[in-house]
Amino acid sequence: MSANYHSFRNIGFYFTQAEAICEKWRAVFTGFDPSVAVRVYGLRQEGAYVYVMYFGNEYRLCTADGILEKRIPNGDNGKGDSRESGAGEGKPEAGACENVAEQHMENGEKEILWDWDTGSRVLHTKEKSADAAWTQNLFMNEAMVVYHLLGDVKEDACLSGVWVPEPDLDPVKIRSGNRTDPLVGGFAAAFSGRTAALDAACEKMGGIRLARGDAAWQMEAMPLLPVQLIFWDADEEFPAQVQVLVDRNITDFMHFEAAGCMIADLFEKIGALAEAYEKIGALAEA
């Protein structure tokens, strides 16, 4: 089993769908003391709420009941983030209007909005937060990352400045030597021949370009959590490949499996932005 197996399986799965897991995590964080996380990350705290920025989106934890919410992009009432599973695969066809591509889907009372500015797919649902600007419709991976970021961070957490491949954080994988990774392999295959779109997406996320591979970028999941992505496009001899590097001390901030969830979120964000970039470009040329 690969280090990212669970995060790969979680893609497209809502946190609230796993009722027992959802209730367990909310119970764990009911009455949670966020003081360590607030100090280490420099987070904003207002009353019972603690606010976290993660890949450009704002989340908040209510320590009174352990409920985690996400700010709705552009403050659109009754919408939550919705991303399809797989980078560049299974995406709904869309037309574009300025920065937003809209797609109506026959799936209950749902409507997908696709925002180029945030790389988020926004989903209308009947479930709303008491505050219309926030939603509890989080995906499993993003919920796991934010909960772990808040709950696992050590008081003396600090970066080492040493970059390591993210899968190598898993001691079982190091012992077994198993390098099969459906998450990384699927992302590399999805971006074969699409280096320009990958670059555009990473730049849109505020990444710093690196001089490695055919495309390489350093981005921040949140302050103190940088991640590097290095991509080699396919050629006559080899298929497309991607490597993700994280700081060696990332487990001072989260569990190693949560780091896999973070990579899955990174890949989904890049995939959505890259596809939006390509569609907007195609419309501009039409």
SS3 153: coil
CA–centroid distance for 253 within its chain:
16
> In sequence order, which residues have a C-beta less than 8 Å from that of residue 176 and are 6 or more positions away?
none
Q: What pLDDT shows up at residue 166?
A: 77
**pLDDT tens, per residue, the chain with 286 residues:** 555 766 767 787 889 888 999 999 999 999 999 999 999 999 999 999 999 999 999 999 999 999 999 998 764 444 444 443 333 333 333 332 233 333 323 333 333 344 445 445 444 344 444 555 999 999 999 999 999 999 999 999 999 999 998 766 665 554 444 456 778 888 999 999 999 999 999 999 999 999 999 999 999 999 889 999 999 999 999 999 999 999 999 999 998 889 999 999 999 999 999 999 998 876 555 4
| Burial of 168 per CB tally in 10 Å (0-12, 13-18, 19+) | middle
* CB count in 10 Å sphere of residue 149: 25
* Count, residues in the chain: 286
Q: What pLDDT shows up at residue 98?
A: 31
Largest CA distance in the chain: 58
Q: In what order do the strands lie in the sheet with 111-115?
A: 79-81, 120-124, 111-115, 100-104, 95-97
Q: What pLDDT shows up at residue 125?
A: 43
- First-residue to last-residue Cα distance in the chain: 45
pTM: 0.76
Taking the C-alpha atoms of residue 195 and residue 201, their distance in angstroms, rounded to an integer, is 10
Whole-number Cα distances in Å, 233 to 97, 98, 266:
31, 30, 19
Provide the residue type at 14 as one letter: Y
